[in-house]
A and B are shown apart, each in its own frame.
Chain A
């Protein structure tokens, strides 16, 4: 337990080991640690950025989806409207056509009816005159009675 040169020897050894550690051990290890920390930091930042990008992409995707849906709904609406319009138009034209055909038929019927009436009327005057001639067995003055007969025929 007495003091001797060991004391000096240990001082020198201590100084040498401090120097060696300072020169050869501390810097490379600290460098590696710092570099790894930086890498991890970068990695985390990148992950954050990627996450944000993903969020943005999702947002824009939903936006686009909504737009597409809106557009599709618009197109369907327009198509529906157009369809009803076409149907209406078709209905309208059909009704018009029907009316037209009906009117034409009615006009023809009326025409036919009038023609028949005229014919009947003229035939009736002759028939009445011939009948009256037969009944009276006398000659009837065609001129004297034609007025009366015409009046009669007009009443039919």
Chain B
């Protein structure tokens, strides 16, 4: 628990605030001490905790898989190689069943998403106060900071910057492949000729702006829903962990009950984190496939 000095609302808020490093209004860069500081920084700031964990977990993914890839042999695989190959073949099967074009990037991207997002989601299963508490102690004793100012969110996917950042990358790829595969004209046609179309030229011209609005919304909705789905699921899961953790402050019986709930929710959450990682990967593959598909019925 975060100490007696915190009210429940403060405890929750503390858990939901990022460790932010950014530019203050007077132009100097530094860590934000509270929500006002964060508001003052606005866009010119980094969420050091979520971005740091994100990159750290990505690096774990990379070195784990790179270690296997370097030693990968066609002989009898070791345990680690078996696990890695399981993930790789799983992704490969999925990509092959959904994406029928030649592209060297989609499958590795799908693997990156699956494992990385899974790792990031997995941080949700680590005891909710453990890492923030360690960070707090570290900040307090090693860096001489006020412990109440050490914010530390460990689950990167509960930060919409992270999920939407990835979704934005996917969106850029959708645009890129749509333009290169269909050509600018083909892409424009796809956006303006559906869902309403007519053989009558005048009517078609009338329909075009309507189609364009509908299809653009459709297009924008893809990355937004992709990012927000992951964020929403993980944020809600994190929130429930926090709320359950509040019960630890309510006497022995309630604390025990909270402990049991924590375990039950964690078990259930295992499903969610894997499923969300999988869904993010599958949707990315599907969007890539849609960007590639030309001249098909919509």
The segment from B61-69, B237-245, B267-275, B287-295 found at the interface with A is B61-69
The answer to whether B72 touches A11 (Cβ under 8 A) is: no
**Best-surrounded residue of A17, A27, A30 (most CB of chain B within 10 A):** A17
Contacts A24-B66, A32-B73: A6 and B85 contacting too (C-beta < 8 A)? Answer: no
Q: Which residues of A contact B54 (CB under 8 A)?
A: 10, 13
The segment from B3-11, B102-110, B197-205, B213-221 found at the interface with A is B102-110
For the complex, give the distance between the alpha carbons of A18 and B44 in Å.
26
Partner of B168, one of A7, A21, A25: A7
Q: Does B134 contact A (CB under 8 A)?
A: no
For the complex, give the distance between the alpha carbons of A14 and B162 in Å.
9
For the complex, give the distance between the alpha carbons of A32 and B78 in Å.
13
Please report the total number of B residues contacting A with Cβ < 8 Å.
53
For the complex, give the distance between the alpha carbons of A14 and B224 in Å.
17
The answer to whether B165 touches A11 (Cβ under 8 A) is: yes
The answer to whether B168 touches A17 (Cβ under 8 A) is: no
For the complex, give the distance between the alpha carbons of A36 and B89 in Å.
13
**Main secondary structure on A side of the interface with B:** helix
For the complex, give the distance between the alpha carbons of A7 and B16 in Å.
17
Q: Does A1 contact B (CB under 8 A)?
A: yes
The answer to whether B160 touches A4 (Cβ under 8 A) is: no
Q: Which residues of B contact A20 (CB under 8 A)?
A: 62, 66
Could you give, for residues 33-52 of chain A, a 1 whenever the CB lies within 8 Å of some chain B CB and a 0 otherwise?
Answer: 10110110000000000000
Q: Does B263 contact A (CB under 8 A)?
A: no
For the complex, give the distance between the alpha carbons of A35 and B72 in Å.
11
For the complex, give the distance between the alpha carbons of A32 and B165 in Å.
33
Chain B residue nearest to A8 (CB atoms) is B165
Chain A residue nearest to B172 (CB atoms) is A11
For the complex, give the distance between the alpha carbons of A26 and B92 in Å.
10
Q: Which residues of B contact A32 (CB under 8 A)?
A: 72-74, 77, 81, 85
Q: Does A136 contact B (CB under 8 A)?
A: no
The answer to whether A25 touches B46 (Cβ under 8 A) is: no
For the complex, give the distance between the alpha carbons of A19 and B104 in Å.
11
The answer to whether A15 touches B169 (Cβ under 8 A) is: yes
Q: Which residues of A contact B50 (CB under 8 A)?
A: 6
The answer to whether A30 touches B92 (Cβ under 8 A) is: yes
Q: Does B142 contact A (CB under 8 A)?
A: no
Could you give, for residues 33-64 of chain B, a 1 whenever the CB lies within 8 Å of some chain A CB and a 0 otherwise?
Answer: 00000110111111100110011001001100
The answer to whether B58 touches A17 (Cβ under 8 A) is: yes
The answer to whether A5 touches B69 (Cβ under 8 A) is: no
The answer to whether A10 touches B161 (Cβ under 8 A) is: yes
Name the distance in Å between B64's Cβ and chain A's nearest Cβ.
9
The answer to whether B88 touches A13 (Cβ under 8 A) is: no
Chain B residue nearest to A15 (CB atoms) is B169
The answer to whether A10 touches B51 (Cβ under 8 A) is: yes
For the complex, give the distance between the alpha carbons of A6 and B165 in Å.
8
Q: Does B111 contact A (CB under 8 A)?
A: yes
Chain B residue nearest to A2 (CB atoms) is B38
Q: Which residues of A contact B41 (CB under 8 A)?
A: 4
Q: Which residues of A contact B81 (CB under 8 A)?
A: 32
The answer to whether A33 touches B42 (Cβ under 8 A) is: no
Q: Which residues of A contact B46 (CB under 8 A)?
A: 4-6, 9
Chain A residue nearest to B64 (CB atoms) is A25
Would you list the 10 A-B pairs with minimal beta carbon distance, nearest first? A10-B165, A35-B74, A6-B161, A32-B72, A22-B108, A26-B108, A28-B69, A36-B74, A4-B45, A21-B108
Given contacts A4-B161, A14-B112, A17-B112, 11 further A-B contacts (CB under 8 A): A1-B159, A2-B42, A4-B41, A4-B47, A9-B51, A10-B54, A11-B165, A21-B112, A22-B108, A25-B65, A29-B88
